[in-house]
Amino acid sequence: MKDELRDKLKHLPANPGVYQFKDAGQEVIYVGKAKRLNLRVRSYFQNGANHTGKIRAMVRKITDVEVIVTDSEAEALILENTLIKKYRPRYNILYRDDKTYPYICVTNEERPRVFPTRTILRNGSRYYGPYDHVGKMKQMLETIRKAFGLCTCACSSRSVDQSRGLPKWGKCFEDYFENCSADTPIEEYQHKMEQVDRLLNGRTRDLIRDLKQEMQDLSDALEFEQAAVLRDGILALEKYSEKMKMVSSDDSDRDLFALEANYDENIACGVLFQIREGKLIGKYHRYLKNIEGRSDAVLIQSFMEDYYTSDLSTAVPDEVCCSNEPDNDEPLFEYLWQTKGRKVPITVPQRGEKAQMVQMAASNARLLLREWLLEKMKADQGRVPHSVQALERDLYLSRLPRRIECFDISNFQGAFTVASMVCFVDGQPRKSEYKRYHIKSVTGPDDFASMREVVKRRYTRLKREGKQIPDLVVIDGGKGQLSSAVQILRDIGMADDILLIGLAKRLEEVFFPGSSDPVMIPKTSASLKLLQRVRDEAHRFAIGFHRDVRSRKTFRSQLQDIPGIGTKTTEKLIRHFGSVEQIMTQDLEALAAVAGKKAANTVYSYFNADPEEAVETGDRLEYIEMDKSGSDSHESSGGDDAQNKKY
């Protein structure tokens, strides 16, 4: 880390705001928000932090950090989404471009016009949608035109690109023998536009009630022609309202968010259902890319924040329901509160009608994601990566190694022995099929016996359950590990069904069963690079699991010795800071941000007492006060002056 960057990290403000990480070329590679900038930004650079491989790779590229202080988390939320859309940083969650979806636009003019568009401009116009079905959008536009007596100049079903200018008024005389809406008095026209806005926001029930009252007032005033016009508009609105799907028994306005993720394909689908007056008035979905290393909680929070801070959100509902608990909903809660003028609860319903509605949205998310994956599979059908074909050629294999599994063993001086199995399909990791194993039958550092155990457990189960057998199995190691795996496959009767090879790291030699001479693949070959990727991924997965196991068994007992600190708090602290050593160096505020104030005070007091001397006893520190004569009170026979404190 450069001295300049280190100095910046030391002097970061403790305010809410947005931070931008930049690489050597001063390109923004990540944008994030924080309640306390100093704690959040520094957490990326902690040595013991339990970051994913992707985050660690990002941190290695950071050469500069820029922060923007805001007055609140809500402001930081808006600014973060603006900067992400501007820079599209490679390490942020990215969204598929939705400009191909149609919207209904209400222009920002003295005499607004309504038309469909696929181009969104930030010129003050209001956009409603996007509509997943063009027919529904045209039905809405026709309802608007008939209900409020607008001509095709004011409300058209023809798509318009505002960047090229709007059509001129008066064109409607080519199709209709009626007055152009441009001749309507401005007050009356703007009143109609207010009613259009209510309709587009799903306020059909209140709108119909008010129009009926207007019709009655006109009838009482003997203005029957105008009353008849309103009657026709009301009939058009009632006809449209009847076609809307009723999904809730109450009249509350809700937004329902659901998410489905496929981490193997690095893609997720978020779905929004807009419920107004108990009716489903709109459905919206987006695909989230670049999701590796992010949880469902982070993804659904990002999806919700992106929607509400965009031009698509025209009205804040009374309640927001979602399928997953957001990772941190405080900034969004504050933003919705400020926008709505009152609190908008964000809930995860567990039972009842709201839970059923969220489940309906989740089913749509699964369906849409399945369709996306099916389209991708059709596009990729028959397309075998070059590296897979090269591996078949260089090793003279009998079939394409489209599905590869690889094993690795990890231990520390014979203790905490674990194993990993990773799976690659068509040259890409299939992380949902990764496996981790605790070695149960081996004592001490015996990699051969450990390999026999894990291979037996894996393929005995595969055989029993009738699941797909890999085209190639890679053993991380030389002839010894390979022979152990072959031996156990013979014992379970699967030696003829599975092709094994061993990959020795020193010279990158490939060993086949029954052959003492290795196969050397050219260093520049795509096939060797594929094998190295598979082997390195198995090693990374095994090392990560081993560190996690060792950390839990070695260090957690020390934290749990602290009175009032249980397993869950211990896991939170270890997961966030990485080790007890890192926890010991944290200030009270950093600990409180993770474990809460009460637990933070307990842990901080334990590690930051003010003893005059401390001696190590077992795996804890026993702090000892000294009496005035300088003698060790721990060694005294007792009495009022001998005070021992254990923390």
Q: What is the DSSP string of 3-70?
A: HHHHHHHHT--SS-EEEEEE-TT--EEEEEEESSHHHHHHHTT-TT----HHHHHHHHH--EEEEEE-
| 554, 556, 557, 560 alpha-carbon torsion, rounded to 10° | 170
Instruction: State the average pLDDT over residues 445-453.
Output: 84
- More confident of the two residues 612 and 372: 372
Quick one: pLDDT band at residue 226, thresholds 50, 70, 90? low
Total domain count for the chain? 4
Rounded Cα gap, residues 209 and 205, in angstroms: 6
pLDDT digits (tens, 9 = 90+) for 504-527: 877 888 888 888 788 888 888 888
Question: Domain end: 92, 117, 141, which one?
Answer: 92
Range with lowest mean pLDDT among 192-196, 280-284, 585-589, 591-595: 280-284
CATH code, domain with 453: 3.30.420.340
The pLDDT value given to residue 638? 38
Last residue of a domain, one of 529, 548, 567: 548
pLDDT band at 257 (very low <50, low <70, confident <90, very high): very high
What b/e sequence results for 566-585 when a residue is b if at least 16 CB atoms lie within 10 Å of its CB, and e otherwise?
Answer: eeebbeebbebbbbbebbee
CATH number for the domain including 624? Answer: 1.10.150.20
Per-residue pLDDT for 469 more than 50?
yes
pLDDT at residue 616 in the model? 38
β partners of residue 274: 255, 282
- Residue 135 within a domain: no
Q: pLDDT tier at 631 (50, 70, 90 boundaries)?
A: very low
Decide which of 558 and 7 is more confident: 7
Identify the pLDDT of residue 269: 92
Amino acid at 163: S
Share of the chain above pLDDT 70, in %: 83
Residues 338 and 431 in one domain: no
| 3-class DSSP assignment, residue 276 | strand
Residues 512, 621 within the same domain: no
pLDDT in tens, 62-77: 999 988 888 888 888 8
Answer whether residue 622 shows pLDDT above 50. no
Domain span at residue 284 reads 254-377
For residues 578 and 508, state if they share a domain: no
Same domain, 439 and 555: no
Q: Give the pLDDT of residue 307.
A: 87
Q: What is the mean pLDDT of the chain?
A: 79
pLDDT over 90 for what percent of the chain? 7
Strongest mean pLDDT among 179-188, 241-250, 313-322, 601-610: 313-322
Say what the pTM is.
0.56
Whether residues 370 and 267 fall in one domain: yes
- Do 261 and 367 have their domain in common? yes
- We report the CATH number of the domain holding residue 298 as 3.30.420
In a domain, 173, yes or no: no
Say yes or no: 325 and 278 in one domain. yes
Q: What average pLDDT does this structure show over 116-120?
A: 77
Residue-level pLDDT at 644:
36
Per the listing, tokens 């990374």 go with 540
Q: What is the mean pLDDT of residues 364-376?
A: 85
266 in a structural domain: yes
Q: Are residues 397 and 335 in the same domain?
A: no
**Are 462 and 428 members of one domain?**
yes
Q: What is the pLDDT of residue 413?
A: 63
Give the separation between CA 261 and CA 259, rounded to whole angstroms. Answer: 7
- Res. 19 pLDDT band, cuts 50 70 90: very high
Query: Is the model's pLDDT at 621 over the cut of 50?
Result: no
pLDDT at residue 86 tops 80: yes
Using CA atoms, how far apart are residues 345 and 333, in angstroms rounded to an integer?
Answer: 7
- Residue 98 vs residue 104, higher pLDDT: 104
- Strand 509-511 relative to strand 319-322: parallel, antiparallel, unpaired? unpaired
User: Is 610 contained in some domain?
Assistant: yes
Q: What is the CATH number of the domain that holds 56?
A: 3.40.1440.10
Q: What is the pLDDT of residue 552?
A: 61
Q: Is 620 helix (H, G, I), strand (E, B) or coil?
A: strand
Single out the residue of 465, 440, 443, 464 nearest to residue 454, CA to CA. Answer: 440
pLDDT above 80: residue 411: no
Which of 39-53, 333-347, 385-399 has the least mean pLDDT?
39-53
Mean pLDDT of 334-361: 88
Quick one: pLDDT at residue 615? 38
What tokens does 406 get? Answer: 């690889």
Q: Is residue 367 part of a domain?
A: yes
Residue 232 lies in a domain: no
Section 44-65 average pLDDT:
82
Please report the DSSP string for 159-206 in residue order: ---GGG-PPPTTGGGGT-SS--GGGS-HHHHHHHHHHHHHHHTT-HHH
Are 521 and 570 in the same domain? no
Give the model confidence (pLDDT) of 519-575 as tens digits. Answer: 888 888 888 999 999 998 988 888 888 777 766 665 555 676 777 787 778 878 877
* Same domain, yes or no: 259 and 356: yes
Q: Which two tokens stand for residue 214?
A: 């207007």
Listed residues 320, 346, 377: the one ending a domain: 377
For residue 439, what are its two tokens?
Answer: 């070695």
467 shares a domain with 409: yes
Residue 307 belongs to some domain of the structure: yes
Distance, first Cα to last Cα, the chain:
36
Return the closest-CA partner of residue 69 out of 101, 112, 40: 40
Give the tens place of pLDDT for each residue, 179-194: 677 778 888 888 888 8
* Domain contains 213: no
